[in-house]
Structure 1
Amino acid sequence: MSGIATARRLRTAMTDAERRLWSRLRNRQLAGAKFRRQFPIGPFVADFACPECRLIVEADGGQHADSIADTRRAAWLAEHGWRVLRFWNTDILTRTDDVLATILAAIVQSDQ
């Protein structure tokens, strides 16, 4: 399955945490940054990406704990100029404002 087809499928099957985060990232609500959801980058699909900031935001469930695949993925993305922020789904759902503050700080840092 191509990256675009995978991204389209994932957009229709978002988790509660992804929906919560997307509701706060979409339409340039956070510092005017344009985020895309389920955005193909090379061989991967990022949960959320801001291409102008080269920033990726990932919403992770328990299956991502100590994931070697995630480590390799993050290394590949970093080699290609992307910064990756990872948040646990429970943090997104229970501490949304803290998560958004961390994302905002990364956006501001990328502008400098």
Structure 2
Amino acid sequence: MISGYHKRPRTSVPTEVPRALRKRMTPQEAKLWVALRRLRPAGFTFRRQAPIGPYVVDFACLKARLVVEVDGAQHGFDAHLARDGVRDARLAERGFLVARFWNHQVDRELASVMDTIYARLTEPRTFPSL
């Protein structure tokens, strides 16, 4: 890993925005947050409602450059799919891998979601030079 690569990314998002989002997390985000915190002993620390560039992502592990998004039904519509695609591509340009899960997956298949997240955290990746 590149030294210092897990520093807080630059953002244009005012501090109040992620702070407000943290106060009104969805039930699925809250459930996943509790599970993600169990990865700390393995060396993976997540931030919730983390600002990255012009975006606020649901969860981010800066060390592994992994973003985890929990999506509701609105993300299945064409307009949202297109916006999510652009957003994911821009995050990838910054060196982040995006893992997306549906609300119902977090509710019904949390162990599988966590297995997928852990696999993404530990898979070998090369990071773009800064």
Indicate whether the TM-score tops 0.5.
yes
Greater fraction of residues in helix:
1
Q: How far does the alpha carbon of each residue in 1:23-66 deviate from its partner, in whole angstroms, 9 at most, with x for none? A: 01126447320000000000000100000000000000011114
Give the letter for the 1:89 counterpart: N
How many residues are matched? 112
1:94 lines up with 2:105 in the alignment: no
Instruction: Tell me the secondary structure at the aligned position of residue 63 of structure 1.
Output: helix
Q: Which of residues 17, 39, 45 is equivalent to 2:28?
A: 17
Q: Please give the alpha-carbon distance, in whole angstroms, between the structure 2 residues aligned to 1:18 and 1:99.
A: 12
Structure 1 unaligned segments of length 5 or more: list them. Answer: none
Aligned to 1:42: 53
Give the letter for the 1:70 counterpart: D
Q: What's the offset of the Cα at 1:9?
A: 0.7
Q: Please give the alpha-carbon distance, in whole angstroms, between the structure 2 residues aligned to 1:52 and 1:64.
A: 27
Would the alpha carbon gap of residues 43 and 29 (structure 1) be closer, same or farther in structure 2, given more than 3 Å must change? same
Q: Please give the alpha-carbon distance, in whole angstroms, between the structure 2 residues aligned to 1:40 and 1:82.
A: 13
Q: Which of residues 55, 58, 77 is equivalent to 2:66?
A: 55
Would the alpha carbon gap of residues 27 and 92 (structure 1) be closer, same or farther in structure 2, given more than 3 Å must change? closer
Instruction: Tell me the secondary structure at the aligned position of residue 33 of structure 2.
Output: helix
Q: Please give the alpha-carbon distance, in whole angstroms, between the structure 1 residues aligned to 2:41 and 2:101.
A: 17
Give the letter for the 2:123 counterpart: Q
Aligned to 2:6: none
Q: Which of residues 86, 107, 110 is equivalent to 1:72?
A: 86
Aligned to 2:120: 106
Report runs of 4+ in structure 1 exceeding 3 Å deviation: 27-30
Would the alpha carbon gap of residues 110 and 25 (structure 1) be closer, same or farther in structure 2, given more than 3 Å must change? farther
Look at both structures and tell me which one has the larger radius of gyration over its CA atoms. 2
